[in-house]
Structure 1
Amino acid sequence: MTLHASAPASPRAFAASLAPDDYKALFRGHPGGVAVITADAGDGPVALTATSVSSVSADPPLLVFSISALSSAASVLSRAETVVVHLLDAHDLTVAQLGATSGIDRFAETHRWSRLVTGEPVYRDVRAWVRCVVVDRMDAGGSTIIAAHALQSHVARDDSEALVYHNRTWHRLGEHSRVDP
């Protein structure tokens, strides 16, 4: 599977562009579900926390996410053939924080994770995870967008409170935050 896109206009072709701080402020108010992505391209496991995971298609089962070139996991994720995307809930906050903390060994606590029979690192006891094969990568600004085809999944909790990231903080969504029309 290959993503096909028309050639985008160069950012330099536009007379004006939104300033980076203004752009960040814009999306700070737009909450995102929290996921941790793990992979191992042969040099040892890596993990990162992401709010950019989106479902693209149910048939075939495709998802996308982006990674910053500044991430310590970027090099491995740019080479990994497969990834595991952990879709977290509020009970998984420590895993989300682990993936978001730079300069630490995210796999030092060996009781928190294991490897699937196919070799990918997977965190234990999270709400859900999906093992995917990477089908395409696209450079976009200082990030890489990765498209992945879902191969295998595990859902441990269906009725949990969602974990979202909004305005630089973690939040729990549940019945208490439900808005009825």
Structure 2
Amino acid sequence: MDQTLAAETRSRQELFKSAFREHPAGVAVISAMSADGPVGLTASSVASVAVDPMTLSFSVTRAKGSAGGLLEAQTISVHLLAEHHVDLADAFARSGAPRFTPEQGWGEFGSGEPLLADARAALLCRITHIIKVGSSSVVLAEVLDIRLGESAPPLIYHDRRFRRLA
């Protein structure tokens, strides 16, 4: 790729990032039980896909660390966060931050997957498809169980920050 085309591509990529930086998204923590213990990460890409079968999607940008653990799992848990989960979302967004601590309120589904007891909703899912797109992977997962928590305003991600709805 010549330098002009490379510069144009980087410029378009920056425009793409800027466009989505201004597009608010709900925040979730996605977790699984790996051979080494629980793994999880914060995601703002969770979306409903279908009702029959109940399917959701999300994307991850790497295939190592927590993301790799999720991609290797057969089942995962998706926790839709409330505005009071800012610290939790931040912990699961930063490498090396404390995760799955008793203070964060973690339990488990009957089948062993991590369960955040006070999430707005917790969905136990089975991964059905992983689609590679460049350096990312889009995951489709069928919902097997749903636990609804207390109704609360959602936590959102906008302009690189976790925010509460005003």
Residue 161 of structure 1 pairs with residue 162 of structure 2: no
Aligned-pair distance for 1:70?
Answer: 6.5
CA contact (8 A) 2:29 2:79 kept: yes
Distance, in Å, in 2 between the alignment partners of 1:166 and 1:49 is 14
Tell me what 1:52 maps to.
45
Tell me what 1:110 maps to.
102
1:1-60 deviation per Cα after TM superposition (whole angstroms, max 9, x unaligned): xxxxxxxxxxxxx99645332221121001110000001132211110000000001111
Structure richer in helix, relative to its length: 2
Structure richer in strand, relative to its length: 2
Tell me what 1:135 maps to.
128
Task: Pick one of 4, 10, 35 that aligns with 2:28.
Answer: 35
Residue 172 of structure 1 pairs with residue 164 of structure 2: yes
Distance, in Å, in 1 between the alignment partners of 2:18 and 2:63 is 20
1:108-128 deviation per Cα after TM superposition (whole angstroms, max 9, x unaligned): x23421222101012221211
Distance, in Å, in 1 between the alignment partners of 2:23 and 2:36 is 35
Tell me what 1:9 maps to.
none
Residue 25 of structure 1 pairs with residue 18 of structure 2: yes
Tell me what 1:63 maps to.
56
Distance, in Å, in 1 between the alignment partners of 2:15 and 2:64 is 22
CA contact (8 A) 1:164 1:172 kept: yes
TM-score (norm 1): 0.80
Aligned-pair distance for 1:84?
Answer: 0.3
Tell me what 1:78 maps to.
71
Please give the secondary structure, in 1, of the residue aligned with 2:37.
coil
Please give the secondary structure, in 2, of the residue aligned with 1:40.
strand
Paired residue type of 1:157 = E
Distance, in Å, in 2 between the alignment partners of 1:71 and 1:31 is 27
TM-score (norm 2): 0.87
Q: Cα gap change, 1:127/1:71 in structure 2, threshold over 3 Å: closer, same or farther?
A: farther
Instruction: Please list every run of 5 or more consecutive structure 1 residues that lacks an aligned counterpart in the other structure.
Output: 1-13
Please give the secondary structure, in 1, of the residue aligned with 2:65.
coil
Tell me what 1:152 maps to.
145
Please give the secondary structure, in 2, of the residue aligned with 1:103.
coil
